[in-house]
A and B are shown apart, each in its own frame.
Chain A
Amino acid sequence: MPAFNTSAGSVRPAAITARGWGWRHAGRPRPAVSGLDLDIRPGERVLLLGPSGAGKSTLLHALAGVLGDSSADGADAAGGGADRAAGGSPEDSDQTGSLLIDGAPPRARRGRAGLVQQDPETQVVLSRLGDDVAFGAENLSVPPAEIWSRVAEALDDVGLGQLPLDHPTSALSGGQKQRLALAGILAMRPGLILLDEPTANLDPAGVLEVRDAVGRCLEKTGATLVVVEHRVAVWKDLVDRIVVLQPGSATDSAVLVDGPPDQVLAQARDMLTAAGVWVPGYVPVTRARGARSAGPASAAGTVAGPAGQLLLAAEDLAVSRERPRRAGLRGGFRPVPPEPVQSGITARVRAGEALTITGPNGSGKSTFALTLAGLLAPVSGKVSATLDLSAGAGIDPYRWKAQQLIARIGTVFQEPEHQFVTGRVLDELMFGPRHLGRGEERVDELLERLRLTELVDANPYTLSGGEKRRLSVATVLAAHPRVLVLDEPTFGQDANTWAELASFLSELLDDGTAVVSVTHDAEFSEVLGGTELSFRAPGHRDREQPEPGKVTAP
């Protein structure tokens, strides 16, 4: 039975001790972490940094007590470690050394640590706000009467106290969902708060919401914090220690640098930027627009046209992801158009020019981009391709066949996995050219240009986040479209992938491809230049905004 504090707000912060700790995931040849020696004192706030593959998430999962196969929990918990150490077959996961919270293994300290992960959708368990916050406390057998006072307090602490307890969790924004997840663990009164890139999927406003909520809760409870995040600027002022991990090796220590934030950032700045960490004040060097360089046109496989040539236009467009619904019996079964999420959009896409779409979450940016790309039907208004782009396929991109579409407009989705259609990197790249019957000879150049040559035989689903992103861009470009549409291409990417992507797109633009990107990233749109289309919040019925819809900047 777990111990819990009954006095409101008082939490005993947890201590972490790792001695030669290592973990190898089941079925992997190399350990994710090895030789970790680390002491975190009660109440310390630690930012965990390191290149991808350094085992940061593995460490957080271990501390949260959720590492290992779920069949090994319960009765097996005591004997499991010995079994694994004795067996040592590559199919089983394997633990070395020790990792302790307050002197006991994390699995034995249920409720001492609370974890918030990256994907807001999977941080919500139940469909009503109050029930979701209560869930963890119920599992720790907190008496029901006390649960509700904890729920109210936790919701207040994360700034969601103004919402009713039966508010539907599906109606929350991404930032609100992450704060709800934080409230859910606060109601468990944990001595250790673990955050695994909690703001990677959020817009800038959401990032600050979550960061500030975490700050308030730490002030109040004094709990120990371990946060993994590669945007250092967000967390730098909140933490009092930075630990940099390096990928596991048999000989070296897992901890590369350890110390106060300013000292670590000064000492290890070059190493961190080289590893792709977003160090404050550092904008990666990217290729400038208009700089002449050799050969990119052939690598990208674009059919260069005169810059500024009009390719695609949106006129008075209204967009929605919903399909038209049929009116009922009384409506005579006519199609009823869905309520548009954004309307009155006018835009021009020109060869060699960038169009950036910005605005708060929920304002219909992605929906507009997908409509422009011929993937969604407009609610009203129209998208029309000029003769230069359509080349005989007709004026309306939505009516093009899939193969006509990919040779004209390429779309890179926010989640690369959505676009994988084969089981091998090379097949993935060859897929478009094979179907079109041309362009296979350019695949090698794309592989090289986007550093995928080493990975040709890998399964796309097993790549790292940055590799998946580069692959998804390469696969779409393999069909050499003249318009490239990207949905949040820089979300959650490290500084290295970011710089590569920005430089590559800048080359494509100079070679005459039109690049349309939905982004929150001001530095990214600055590299690409061009026109910005800024959407307002979805305020159809907001009286202060009688003119909903678009604002066209410079």
Chain B
Amino acid sequence: MRQELTLRGNDAVLTRANPLAKFAAVMLITMVLALSIDWVSASVALAFELALLPLAGLTVGLLWHRGWPLILAAALGGWSTTILAPDSGAILFDARIWSISEGSLELGLGFMLRGLAIALPAVLLMSCTDPTDLADALAQKAKLPHRFVLGTLAAMRLVGLMAEEWQTIGMARRARGVGSHGNPLQRMRATLGQSFGLLVQAVRRASRLAVTMEARGFGGGPRTWARTSVFSGLDVWVFLGGLLIAGAAVAAALAAGTWNMVWN
């Protein structure tokens, strides 16, 4: 039930890079892909990203396991574009309003590939980045206020706890005669009641956690960092890698003549 957010067992090379460098590389790729809907830039980026999987300690199986909702969403988006986009070129399949033409197929394919190529770096980033390290980098390198960053990090731990709590409260309420049966209105009321119960518990837990943190001297004042967030030579390569993928995608699309700015 509770998701493990640590990276134990994953000692791939990208886990050692600074989270901020990885974040910058991901942003570069995402921004370039957001500029154009074409299948060449997307598939070039996607090919590079798939080649990077081992560096993040991912396999295709693991990728599917963690990212299947994104992959399905991309496929679905591509499919609906294919059948609904205005037809151009030869008609390949026709069922009245749903038709597939060469033009719409190309557009749909571009759409799907682009979705995948944008989603994949995010999955990659999360798979090889420990949230604690990310928080360290955000506070020490990006100079975000540590009270906010560490507070958010501690609160994230409670989210997993709340998932368990939701299940327990559901059972506890069934034991009081509040069922999840009945018409939609009754169900909605039951869910609202359960949400209220969860909210009460979340507030209790959060205030106890706040006391724990305050009692350990947490506040707005200056503090030291046991884990120093550092940039290394690896981070230069990570950033250059991001630049290379983004550049290669644009160059390939321009060369193939498919570059197609979204606002054109």
Which A positions have Cβ atoms within 8 angstroms of B?
2, 61, 64-66, 70, 73-74, 110-111, 113-115, 117, 119, 121-128, 131, 134-144, 147-148, 151, 166, 168, 170, 181, 184-185, 188, 321-322, 328-329, 370, 373, 375-376, 401-403, 405-406, 410-413, 415, 417-421, 431-432, 435-436, 461, 475-476, 479
With A131-B226, A322-B1: A405-B175 Cβ-Cβ less than 8 Å: yes
A139 touches B200 (CB 8 A): no
1/0 contact trace for B177-219 toward A, CB 8 Å? 1111100000000000100010011001100111111111111
Find residues 91-135 in chain B having any chain A CB closer than 8 Å to their own CB: 131-132
| Any A CB within 8 A of the CB of B153 | yes
With A122-B208, A125-B216, A168-B6 as contacts: A375 and B178 at CB distance below 8 Å: no
A328 to B109, CA, bound (A): 25
Are A125 and B212 in touch, CB under 8 angstroms? yes
> Which residues from chain A contact B205 at a C-beta distance below 8 Å?
119, 121-122
B223 contacts which chain A residues (CB < 8 A)?
Answer: 138-141
> Nearest-CB distance from B201 to chain A (Å)?
7
Within the assembled complex, what's the spacing in Å between the Cα atoms of A151 and B227?
13
B172 partner residues in chain A, CB cutoff 8 A: 411, 413, 415, 418-419
Which residue of B64, B210, B216 is within 8 Å of A139 (Cβ)? B216
A125-B213, A421-B173 in contact; A73/B219 too (CB < 8 A)? Answer: yes
Q: How many angstroms from the CA of A502 to the CA of B71 in the assembled complex?
A: 56
Which single residue of chain B is at the shortest CB-CB distance from A118?
Answer: B208
CB pairs A–B below 8 angstroms (22 shown): A2-B217, A70-B214, A74-B220, A110-B219, A115-B211, A121-B205, A125-B212, A128-B132, A131-B132, A136-B216, A138-B226, A141-B223, A166-B6, A184-B216, A329-B64, A401-B181, A405-B175, A410-B175, A418-B169, A419-B173, A419-B176, A421-B197
Q: What distance in Å separates the Cβ of B148 from its nearest Cβ neighbour in chain A?
A: 14
Question: A residues within 8 A CB of B197?
Answer: 417-418, 420-421
> Within 8 Å of chain A (Cβ to Cβ): is B260?
no
Question: Is there an interface contact between A406 and B215, defined as CB atoms closer than 8 Å?
Answer: no
Instruction: Say if the beta carbon of B225 comes within 8 Å of chain A.
Output: yes
A65 to B223, CA, bound (A): 18
Contact B174 A375 (CB under 8 A): yes
CB distance from B192 to the nearest CB of A (A): 11
Q: How far apart sit A131 and B226, CA to CA, in the bound complex (Å)?
A: 8
Please indicate the chain B residues that have their CB under 8 angstroms from the CB of A413 in the complex. Answer: 168, 171-172, 175
Instruction: Name the residue in A74, A410, A415 with the highest tally of chain B Cβ atoms < 10 Å from its Cβ.
Output: A415
Q: Which residues of B, 212-251, contact A by the 8 Å Cβ criterion?
A: 212-228
Residue numbers in B under 8 Å from A166 (CB-CB): 6, 8
Q: Does B222 lie within 8 Å of A127, measured CB to CB?
A: no
A64 touches B215 (CB 8 A): yes
Min CB gap B102→A, angstroms: 30
Chain B residues with CB under 8 A of A61: 211
Residues of B within 8 A of A403 (CB): 177, 179
Tell me if B218 and A402 are in contact (CB < 8 A).
no
User: Across the interface, do B168 and A418 meet the contact criterion of CB distance under 8 Å?
Assistant: yes
B34: CB under 8 A from chain A? no
B215 and A114 contacting across the interface, CB-CB below 8 Å: yes
Query: In the complex, how many angstroms separate the beta carbon of B177 from the nearest chain A beta carbon?
Result: 4
Structural contact, B181 and A376, CB atoms closer than 8 A? no
**B179/A431 in contact, CB under 8 A:** no
A141 & B169 in contact (Cβ 8 Å cutoff): no
> Distance in Å from the Cβ of B173 to the closest Cβ of chain A?
6
A141 with B224: in contact, given A135-B216, A402-B178 (CB under 8 Å)? yes
| Complex Cα–Cα for A111 and B197 (A) | 35
When chains A and B are docked, how far (Å) is the Cα of A402 from the Cα of B175? 7
Contact B132 A126 (CB under 8 A): yes
Contact between B214 and A66 (Cβ–Cβ < 8 Å)? yes
Apart from A125-B216, A135-B218, A418-B168, what 17 extra A-B contacts exist at CB < 8 Å? A64-B211, A73-B219, A117-B208, A121-B161, A131-B132, A136-B217, A139-B218, A144-B225, A184-B216, A401-B181, A402-B178, A405-B175, A406-B177, A411-B171, A413-B168, A417-B201, A418-B173
**Contact yes or no, B157 A124, CB < 8 A:** yes
Query: Which A residue sits closest to B214, measured CB to CB?
Result: A66
Residue of B nearest to A134 (CB): B226
Flag if A142 contacts B224 (CB, 8 Å): yes
B47 within 8 A of A: no
How far, in angstroms, from A543 to B172 measured CA to CA in the complex? 37
Flag whether B86 is at the interface (Cβ < 8 A): no
Q: A138-B223, A321-B1, A435-B177 are in contact. Are A70 and B228 (CB under 8 A)?
A: no
Q: How far is the CB of B188 from chain A (nearest CB, A)?
A: 15
Inter-chain contact A117/B175, CB cutoff 8 Å: no
1/0 contact string of B10-40 vs chain A (CB within 8 Å): 0000000000000000000000000000000
Interface contact B226-A476, CB-CB below 8 Å: no
Flag if A128 contacts B226 (CB, 8 Å): no
